[in-house]
């Protein structure tokens, strides 16, 4: 059983469309991160959220941390082919160690 | 300092051989993590160090795996008697204790055991 679930697993959309991917858990996290990974490369940190209800924006990307700090979402507006990649959420469990637990990822493909 | 550096980028080895990977973290970062990632999966935690102390090890880290960070700077991950199931991407990340919620990853070492 994964501590962090991500949905959808795969997403293929046309350039210009909007999309939302989700990261869910039954556990509480002291912080949650979103990473983007391209084939053969390491994950690249996009954002960290630490406060329940927090919303952060990074250009066309909007990240939200759930009020109870158990879930998060990533919304992309007007997707571009350069957004193609594997989106991973990761978190540090509250009151349990300092390692980052990862979800299985959402593989996004944006077609021109 | 341009980020976390891992060497080699790729390693092909025969089953039964030993391999060692190196990770150089961002210079002021005192935490260093090792993860393993197989195709289609998210990274799985192996172990982490704070300075030179290895503070946590996953059950995934069998007796054939050993990690060191002797001077609290670079780290090595050794796999003895490699098996085909060890084939994966091995990722290293580093962070600061004071901002522990932000970990930065290297480009990884892709291990193929034949």
Cβ within 8 Å, pair B44-A42: no
Asked if B44 and B52 touch (Cβ cutoff 8 Å), the reply is no
CB atoms within 10 A of CB A90: 27
Nearest CA in chain A to B33: A99
pLDDT tens for chain B, 114 residues: list them.
579 999 999 999 999 999 999 999 999 899 999 999 999 899 999 999 999 999 999 988 889 999 999 988 999 999 999 999 999 999 999 998 776 678 999 999 999 999
A7 interface with B at CB cutoff 8 Å? no
Phi, then psi, of A28 in degrees rounded to 5: -95, 135
Asked if A74 and A13 touch (Cβ cutoff 8 Å), the reply is no
Q: Which value, in Å, is the radius of gyration of the alpha carbons in chain B? A: 13
Asked if A80 and A28 touch (Cβ cutoff 8 Å), the reply is no
Cis peptide before B8 (omega within 30 of 0): yes
């Amino acid at each position: 059983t994964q501590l962090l679930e991500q949905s959808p697993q795969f997403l293929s959309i046309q350039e210009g469309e909007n999309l939302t991917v989700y990261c869910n858990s039954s556990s509480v996290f002291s912080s949650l991160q979103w990473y983007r990974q391209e084939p053969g490369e390491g994950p690249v940190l996009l954002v960290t959220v630490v406060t329940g209800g927090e919303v952060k924006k990074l250009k066309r990307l909007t990240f939200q941390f759930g009020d109870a700090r158990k879930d998060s979402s990533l919304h992309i507006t007007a997707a571009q082919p350069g957004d193609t990649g594997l989106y991973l959420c990761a978190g540090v469990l509250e009151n349990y160690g300092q390692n980052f637990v990862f979800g299985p990822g959402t593989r996004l493909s944006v077609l021109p | 300092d341009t980020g976390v550096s891992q060497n080699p980028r790729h390693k092909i080895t025969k089953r039964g051989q030993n391999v060692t990977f190196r990770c150089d973290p961002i210079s002021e970062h005192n935490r260093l993590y090792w993860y393993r990632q197989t195709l289609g999966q998210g990274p799985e935690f192996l172990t982490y160090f704070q300075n030179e102390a290895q503070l946590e090890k996953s059950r995934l880290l069998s007796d054939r795996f050993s990690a060191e960070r002797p001077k609290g700077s670079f780290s090595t991950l050794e796999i003895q008697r490699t098996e085909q199931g060890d084939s994966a991407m091995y990722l290293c990340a580093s962070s600061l204790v004071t901002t522990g919620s932000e970990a930065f990853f290297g480009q990884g070492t892709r291990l193929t055991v034949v």
